[in-house]
Amino acid sequence: MRQFFDPSDEHKLLRDTIRSFTKSKVESQAITFDAQERFNIELFREAAELGILGITVAEELGGAGMDAVAATIVHEELSYSDPGFCLAYLAHAMLCVNNIAQNASSEQSLRWLPKLLTGEYIGAMGMSEPGAGTDVLGMKMSAQRDGDNYILNGRKMWITNGCVDDNGTPADLVLVYAVTGEKAGRPQLSSFVVEKGMSGYGVGQKITHKAGMRASNTAELVFDNCVVPLRNRIGEEGDSIRHMMRNLALERLTLAAMSVGIARRCVDVMSTYAADRKAFGKPISAFGQIQRYIANGYADMMAARTYVYGTASSMGLGDYGNRIDSDGVKLFASKMATRVAGDAIQVLGGYGYVGEYAVERLWRDAKLLEIGGGTVEAHEKNMTRDLAKLGVPWS
């Protein structure tokens, strides 16, 4: 079965590399940075040395030139130990870097990507607002043309990597969507790259006391008469929906891969614990109630893992992908991860409720994946509508 998850020698080498890095570098810091609600910038830049910050970026642009399966592998392996750190990686490598590589001009890519790929710059993507999340056409942030510049006004909310430290330092570079007008009665959305130091760009607040994903920084970004040069607009006015759609399938796929990593770790933990822990003179793995949690957890994790990698193997970079299945893998895998992590806590009892065995942290982290990148309810709506419109994919 491994060949399904590692379809080439290159993929196998990548998994072995990331798994080794996760075991030697990521695991040991996960509890500390979760407790401190801090993003490990030093570790992030060590990850850059593996070449994974541009995993899906073409080689001619300085990236690794790999595919959606490779991106899936990285997210699964990192999330086995630290989903919070992995979420910061996803926001940088998928939402920002891949978005630029797929949608920006060659001149723009060569201007921004080199520092993003080395980790010198930390990137983010700004879509959600205080009053607009899944409903992207409800966003209010505006961009008014003023000669060779645009003036941006508004706020972006829940932005992973929006700030990079406790001092409120904003992301070095954030790709934001803003309203540049109206066409046929609908808002016209356009894409801009805002860089640290631009007038009017800053952090409104660092969002703390999150239930999970505490090892990634979340912030509100404020744009107050922010002056952005015309050359920082990606594409033409009104191109944002196309830009979003070209990146959305990969985002949801990699979020689903994170769910698989979380669940795989939880199955490992509860299986090992149940074999060691004894009650009434027997390992608790001998009891049917515990067997149900472990066996169902493994089966559910493998079902999700197979669906995720099957979808990844057919997904091209830069196209619109199969939206039914990019929605479907995140819908199924995210709910599965929360359930399996909760079952792992139950198997471990009091030990599961504290941080020593990681499943408590993984359970908190898993819940975000049912919300971020599209809620499970949004996926259900999209899939139902697409099935009615397009028919089932296998017919």
Among the CATH numbers 3.40.50.300, 1.10.10.10, 1.20.140.10, 3.30.70.890, which is that of 241-390?
A: 1.20.140.10
* C-alpha 349 chain-centroid distance: 30
Measure the CA angle with vertex 255, ends 251 and 256; round to 5°: 115
Class in CATH terms, 124-238: mainly beta
Q: Which residue type, as a one-letter code, is found at position 156?
A: K
Residues with Cβ within 8 Å of 272's Cβ and at least 6 positions away in sequence, in order, are none
Q: What pLDDT is attached to residue 134? A: 75
> May I ask the CATH architecture of the domain 2-122?
Orthogonal Bundle (1.10)
| 8 A C-beta contact, residue 67 and residue 14 | no
Q: Could you give the CA distance from residue 55 to residue 62 in angstroms, rounded to a whole number?
A: 10
Q: What CA–CA distance (Å, rounded) separates 320 from 247?
A: 8
pTM over the 0.85 mark:
yes
Tens digits of residue pLDDT in 198-245 = 999 999 999 999 999 999 999 999 999 999 999 999 999 999 998 988
251 flagged as catalytic: yes
Q: Tell me how far apart the alpha carbons of residues 132 and 308 are, in angstroms, rounded to a whole number.
A: 28
Sequence ranges of the domains in the chain = 2-122, 124-238, 241-390
Closest CA to 190 of 130, 232, 247, 129: 232
Beta strands 173-183 and 123-126, pairing class: parallel
* Per-residue pLDDT tens over the stretch 232-283: 999 999 999 989 888 899 999 999 999 999 999 999 999 999 999 999 999 9
CA distance readout (Å), 4 to 44, 157, 161, 292, 392: 29, 38, 33, 27, 24
Single-letter residue type at 164: V
**DSSP H or E stretch at residue 125:** strand 123-126
Provide the pLDDT for residue 73: 98
For 302-334, the pLDDT digits (tens) are: 999 999 999 999 998 876 657 899 999 999 999
- Provide the H-helix boundaries in 150-287: 240-276
For residue 390, name the pLDDT band (cuts at 50, 70, 90): confident
Q: Which residues contact 367 (CB under 8 A, 6 or more apart)?
A: 211, 212, 338
- CA 169 to chain centroid, in Å, comes to 21
- H or E stretch covering 106: helix 106-118
Distance (Å, whole) CA 112 – CA 96: 10
Say whether pLDDT at 288 is over 90: yes
Using pLDDT thresholds of 50, 70 and 90, give the confidence band for residue 43: very high
From the candidates 37, 77, 129, 251, which is the catalytic residue? Answer: 251
What φ, ψ does residue 87 adopt, rounded to 5°? -65, -40
